[in-house]
Amino acid sequence: MYDYVEKRHGELSIRAYNIIIGLVLLWGFAINVLMCKFCTDIFMSWNFTAVVIGYFIVAIAGIMMSTLSNNPFISFIGYNFVVLPVGVILSIALTEYDQISIMNALVTTSIVTIIMIVLASIIPNVFLSMGKVLFACLTGVIICELIFMLIGFSTPSLWDFGVALIFCGYIGYDWAEAQTKAYTLDNAVDSVVGLYLDIINLFLRILSSSSKSNKKD
Segment 184-196, tens digit of pLDDT: 999 999 999 999 9
Residue of higher predicted confidence among 4 and 20: 20
> Is the entire prediction scored with pTM above 0.85?
yes
Range of the domain at 198: 2-216
Structure confidence at residue 213 (pLDDT): 59
C-alpha triplet 89, 94, 97: angle, nearest 5°: 155
Say which range, 8-12, 39-43, 78-82, 173-177, has the weakest mean pLDDT. Answer: 8-12
DSSP track, 94-163: GGGS-HHHHHHHHHHHHHHHHHHHHHHHHSHHHHHTTHHHHHHHHHHHHHHHHHHHHHTPPPPHHHHHHH
Residue 1: pLDDT above 80?
A: no
Q: Kindly report the average pLDDT of the chain as a whole number.
A: 91
Structure confidence at residue 128 (pLDDT): 97
Q: pLDDT digits over 27-62, tens only? A: 999 999 999 999 999 999 999 889 989 999 999 999
Please state the domain count of the chain: 1
Q: pLDDT digits over 132-187, tens only? A: 999 999 999 999 988 988 888 777 778 888 999 999 999 999 999 999 999 999 99
